[in-house]
Chains A and B, each alone.
Chain A
């Protein structure tokens, strides 16, 4: 991992955040013919409309509007919420921390389930276990989050009363109850991720098992267990880092729906509330923070990958 590569990767991340911020700003504020009108609706009086236009600076050219917004965002000032009249930034970051708790738990659960299943499927290629695992994978990628969420809630909360259906309790306040409230959403997110990671794990393991060094290990007379766990798994696990990083994108999209369904006050729900109440600063902040989270995670994953596999040289 040369310093030049490191610097380049960081530059790309900065570029990503800049492009995203331009897009978010363009879609929310420049694209509407009259953002003030669409924010306030049909019944707004001309005076109120004029006041909002001045407040948003809608009369100025697009680049000036963006520049002003970007300068404030750069110093951490996302503006004042039109719904609550409180600063948007702190509220969104607090929401993000709850979402991250959900996301990290989901990734851990996913790894615990998907990696063993994928390896088992690869070892039993073409047999019943393999077919079963592939079927589950298909089902996982073919069910939208809102369907899995609703069906799981119907089963585990409504019919069997194992888990609370909605709501959020901070694990810092009451650990047991916090975990119980988190269980359903985490399970829902994991189901989709498990499908991806399992498929990836299966095909990677198959590839690695076909390679020469595995054949050499087997010919050396090593027990199959050693071959799989010490030799094959290490290399097959590497691309999982990448697929998890890419899945953070799905995860963040999925979180919008899942937080909405399970009433978790995370960034996804905050964004949905902002969209339905047309709270412009909150929409912009929420979208930008989500995309920036993705950009940062991806950069970190790339670096982790380069660190774990010194053969990789990106130029």
Chain B
């Protein structure tokens, strides 16, 4: 584990990714305590104030401090994306390993169905689910998790197929272990690497998808300072205050980049032979 971390930090992309992640984690943990202003504090004299010493990143149409809103908003964006990815990955991984374990025609049927489900684009699936379940951050998380599960199932299954033919799995079957034991105790631990890599990269998709749902008005609801919502808000005033648009956009992009970098770094660190 420590060795992996060192290998991850040695590459520039891994290093930058980890530093960015640490900053994001700090914002999620201590954001509200560190923010210079309360995120909802309205200051009518400071409407559309340009970035400067009073508001480092400027102020929005109510004179609310954008930096403070970003720092507090990290909490309503990143952890939710994380939970959605975790739930989606766990469900997908279980289906994928299960399908590889069952093998044969059952595996074929499951995978063809998964392929079919994936013909619905992620955003469309999320939108359909949210429109049925009702708008809101919680339902958006469920929708993203469901949208992610098929893709994770496909990735996990291709890794699990190799494991399925290993001697320890055959031994477990010969011992007469039950399916849950073989799936969760024998096979799943041995396909964790690709799952972790794929999930890390997927967190960045989840951040973007969540922000997109909020942007479209079906995810987080105002006055939450969720980043996608902040972009939607700032769009109406982009003539007067372009900084209101740029700051949350940059926050979303940096978060997505951070998870992408760490995911790619993990892939390199776990497969040292692959020089790409």
Chain A residues with a Cβ under 8 A of chain B = 12, 15-20, 23-24, 27-28, 31-32, 38, 138-139, 141-147, 150-151, 154, 158, 203, 206, 249-250, 252-254, 256-257, 260, 271-272, 275-276, 278, 283, 287, 290-292, 294-295, 298
- Minimum Cβ distance to chain A for residue B103 (Å): 17
Knowing A138-B257, A141-B260, A256-B123 touch, does A12 contact B245 (C-beta < 8 A)?
A: no
Out of A19, A145, A256, A278, which one reaches B117, CB within 8 Å?
Answer: A19
Knowing A139-B253, A146-B228, A206-B276 touch, does A154 contact B123 (C-beta < 8 A)?
A: no
Q: Is the CB of B132 within 8 A of A31?
A: yes
Is B11's CB within 8 Å of the partner chain A?
no
> Would you list which residues of chain B between 207 and 226 have a CB under 8 Å from chain A?
208-209, 211-212, 215-218
Smallest CB-CB separation from B204: which chain A residue? A142
B-side interface mostly? helix
Residues of A within 8 A of B239 (CB): 158
> Would you list which residues of chain B between 243 and 276 have a CB under 8 Å from chain A?
245-246, 249, 252-253, 256-257, 260-261, 276
Contact stretch, chosen from B36-44, B61-69, B108-116, B157-165:
B108-116
Residues of B within 8 A of A28 (CB): 128, 131-132
Out of A32, A253, A272, A290, which one reaches B132, CB within 8 Å?
Answer: A32
Is B28's CB within 8 Å of the partner chain A?
no
In angstroms, Cα B121 to Cα A290, docked, is 8
Knowing A15-B112, A257-B216 touch, does A250 contact B121 (C-beta < 8 A)?
A: yes
Smallest CB-CB separation from B128: which chain A residue? A27
Is B122's CB within 8 Å of the partner chain A?
yes
Out of A15, A250, A275, which one reaches B116, CB within 8 Å?
Answer: A15
Out of A12, A147, A154, A249, which one reaches B242, CB within 8 Å?
Answer: A154
Could you name 26 residue pairs across A and B whose Cβ atoms are closer than 8 Å? A18-B116, A19-B117, A20-B116, A20-B120, A28-B128, A28-B131, A141-B204, A142-B208, A142-B253, A142-B256, A143-B249, A144-B208, A144-B209, A144-B215, A144-B256, A146-B231, A147-B249, A147-B253, A256-B123, A257-B123, A275-B131, A275-B218, A287-B124, A294-B120, A295-B119, A298-B119
Q: Is the CB of A146 within 8 A of B117?
A: no
Residues of B within 8 A of A141 (CB): 204, 256, 260
- Minimum Cβ distance to chain B for residue A211 (Å): 15
Chain B residues with a Cβ under 8 A of chain A = 112-113, 115-124, 127-129, 131-132, 204, 208-209, 211-212, 215-218, 228, 231-232, 235, 238-239, 242, 245-246, 249, 252-253, 256-257, 260-261, 276
In angstroms, Cα B228 to Cα A143, docked, is 12
- Minimum Cβ distance to chain A for residue B20 (Å): 11
Residues of B within 8 A of A144 (CB): 208-209, 211-212, 215, 228, 252, 256
Knowing A256-B127, A275-B127, A290-B121 touch, does A154 contact B245 (C-beta < 8 A)?
A: yes
Q: Is the CB of B127 within 8 A of A146?
A: no
Out of B115, B129, B231, which one reaches A150, CB within 8 Å?
Answer: B231
